[in-house]
Structure 1
């Protein structure tokens, strides 16, 4: 199978409103008979998941990381939380479309391709989790049946969550029992057929799911028991992930083959200038202040400073400043005519830089190692798991630095930034830790930090920082833009870190907690859709 012909998807998949329904999705119609085999389907399904997750992140990033620039009007829903049934409905449709592929792989591979079927079982949980966390109750037990049931009932979100654990445990059992059938190979564009890695990923998904439920008082006993079971299963099945989980089908700087985020928010194929979408997005002041106030060198790789200047030899002579805006407001208008042309690409000032736009062929992240380590540290801090919470916390920060500086060019005079040093992740991690001794947002043993206003600007005084806030602050920084879905979920679960809401909500004092069911679903399954739901209703684990 030719990867570039079979696995790479069209650029249309990458838009925020995309439903990921492309010509590559052979299972758009679940009633149509297909002669494809699980090994022929898997690569495309995993690749489309990367596009689906990119779209979910784009929505979530506007809740906690992004705001608009003055280069564009609009983004009214993001600014006001005034959602409609047509807003972001592609997220619902795209995930279910992808789930049909995994369901077919699982059905076809039950006896002849048991490991392919197990991978599909894990990835069904991954996709269904995206849906539950944004919509709450969804079609689950009666979903994916094609014409056998075109109006599936909606299952309770809490019940679905419990079945996620059952399915992930079952996937471990399936992998351990698979002694025959076709081996998984290059069609696995995530782990290249390494089933031990798939077991670690299943364990890490279980941890993500159980932490979501861990702040629900009525589930305390259930979560405690399942965490104990998870620890035992992880010990017996290789532990948790040991590196970022990436989708890499062979992205390339060609039409329909670019990394989806890069294609939408970076550079069009063959163009030296950024897309218009690039100039629509700014980081929030709250995020930038967290970076700058704590001398965090990751900001030099993630954003372009305004007013930075390089001389003819490429040495940066003026550091510039990082500029953003507040949720609900507009900020500066980045242009391609910036005086600062970065070593990692001629990107406009004030917005995305190398970490997010390294190249057209960079992989898509499905799960960060940093997320897993911070989650483990939180669970250990709260006595849900046993282990060394401090060690996992520090390893989480280091993992974030490794991701942030991944594949950066070797340090030279041309890319040593005045306000960032070189691009070595270890030295920058050490500088970050050394610069924040006594700062409770970074230093594990410190309990206070400088006080700030709502948007992160330093004000006189200090405040107390809990260990959990420390962990979640660093997790928030690590997941910036790459995994905004997880950061948004953590915020709704814990209200940490102290992210300000939009300055222009349609309902004063209210922040949207979920998405509305899409109009496409209302049109076809109205009798089962919970029509009374609003964007201000809580999903069962949400504390916001």
Structure 2
């Protein structure tokens, strides 16, 4: 399943175009960039959307949650402040503007529209899956965010903020539509292929499994506020990833920064985050074999080989994550402890295969119907999803792992539950909700 990045020209065009935008919702045409892609095709856009998604997910979208969840520690500069939850609206502006909105979702929107107009429904479906992936992460970070009025150019430079509950409906509608298109022969002459699809090389069956896996994840997020969430989640798990599968982008790791893993780049250029803290201590004390590939014992400023090299992958989702989702859903499904234990053990086994290719450690942490708990599931998921923003979502939903805010934190001992709205939104979008505190709860994080 190795995904090699070979086709960078359209990617670079899109990165350049996105980097020049100062507002997330429109491009003003001033100082026209001759390198900007004026007549894009779905094929010329797909690789760029996939790669910029991976850069953002492996960049700020990974770093903030890893610091909040004490998988990493800020040692100096801004990162030290972030470990104490001392953030400002300026700190998240780049992730919102250059990342999610201008860099990714506006291009997803364009990809979907031109693919539909050209009758290329399979490209449109992939665009919808990628839009759902990123929109889901945006609303999980901030709660209410623009979508229904976004991406309209100069026709609307201050889009309204949609309620998170409505956004979750939108996410599922995008994925349902994608599933329908991916299951149908669209008759188009042009199809996603190894030349433009970095993730699956045009394998539509894998995109289908990714869509179903995402639906399972997003249903589980809503267990506090949706009585049918568990039933819906389990129905999607059955159609999702199988063993050894997942959604990720591999990086080539050459000297060109456009081909290097974003965590590697950050460590190479900044090195103000150390890879110690609660997770490090937890795994070291347990003798967890994944410790040696997560962390570099010789230097706390370096990641281990699995995630810290120039060619390390960035994961959006994996089979082991889906099995942890199933385990939690089974436990909540009439307390089906037998089903929960089976899925949990498979999740741990799959993660050990993916990370160290050795499942012997499973004997140390395996569970049965008689002793499995929600804490067991979420703590092992926390370990398995190293550097994933999903760990923050899980903590907000369940309270696990049990973390203590670091001494000197600015939230009076609480941990963050959402992000500030970015400074550019506060300045330019009159519909932006007022920033209150980082302990503001999003819709699915009900008391």
TM-score bracket, normalised by the shorter chain, equals 0.7 to 0.9
By how many angstroms is 1:179 displaced? 2.8
**Is 2:163 aligned against 1:156?**
yes
**Is 2:92 aligned against 1:88?**
yes
Alignment correspondent of 2:410: 506
**Is 2:438 aligned against 1:515?**
no
TM-score by length of 2: 0.87
By how many angstroms is 1:401 displaced? 1.8
By how many angstroms is 1:167 displaced? 1.6
Could you list the runs of 5+ residues in structure 1 that have no partner in the other structure?
14-18, 266-274, 307-347, 406-424, 437-441, 448-464
1:206 paired residue among 191, 203, 215: 215
Distance 1:45 1:199, change over 3 A: same
Tell me the alpha carbon deviations over residues 116-153 of structure 1, each in whole angstroms, 9 at most, x when there is no partner.
Answer: 10000111111111110111111111111112211111
Which stretch shifts more, 486-495 or 466-475? 466-475
Q: In the aligned structure 2, how far is the partner of 1:123 from the partner of 1:138?
A: 17
Q: Which stretches of structure 1, 4 residues or longer, exceed 4 Å deviation after superposition?
A: 27-33, 384-387
Alignment correspondent of 1:336: none
Alignment correspondent of 1:192: 201
Could you list the runs of 5+ residues in structure 2 that have no partner in the other structure?
30-36
Distance 1:532 1:355, change over 3 A: closer
Alignment correspondent of 1:271: none
Alignment correspondent of 1:175: 182
Tell me the alpha carbon deviations over residues 248-305 of structure 1, each in whole angstroms, 9 at most, x when there is no partner.
Answer: 374533343222222222xxxxxxxxx2533x22234321232122221111222222
Distance 1:287 1:349, change over 3 A: closer
Alignment correspondent of 1:433: 362
Which stretch shifts more, 248-257 or 498-507? 248-257
Bigger radius of gyration, 1 or 2? 1
Alignment correspondent of 1:362: 312
Alpha-carbon RMSD? 3.0
After superposition, residues 163-312 of structure 1 pair within 5 angstroms as: 163-181=170-188, 182-186=190-194, 187-216=196-225, 219-221=226-228, 223-224=229-230, 226-227=232-233, 230-231=235-236, 238-242=239-243, 243-248=245-250, 250-265=252-267, 275=268, 277-278=270-271, 280-306=272-298
Distance 1:4 1:20, change over 3 A: closer
Number of residue pairs matched? 426
Q: In the aligned structure 2, how far is the partner of 1:208 from the partner of 1:225?
A: 12
1:533 paired residue among 427, 433, 436: 436
Alignment correspondent of 1:105: 111
**Is 2:48 aligned against 1:44?**
yes
**Is 2:61 aligned against 1:59?**
no
Q: In the aligned structure 2, how far is the partner of 1:9 from the partner of 1:384?
A: 51
By how many angstroms is 1:356 displaced? 1.4
Tell me the alpha carbon deviations over residues 329-357 of structure 1, each in whole angstroms, 9 at most, x when there is no partner.
Answer: xxxxxxxxxxxxxxxxxxx3564111112
Q: In the aligned structure 2, how far is the partner of 1:31 from the partner of 1:172?
A: 35
Q: Is the 8 A contact 1:139 1:155 kept in 2?
A: yes
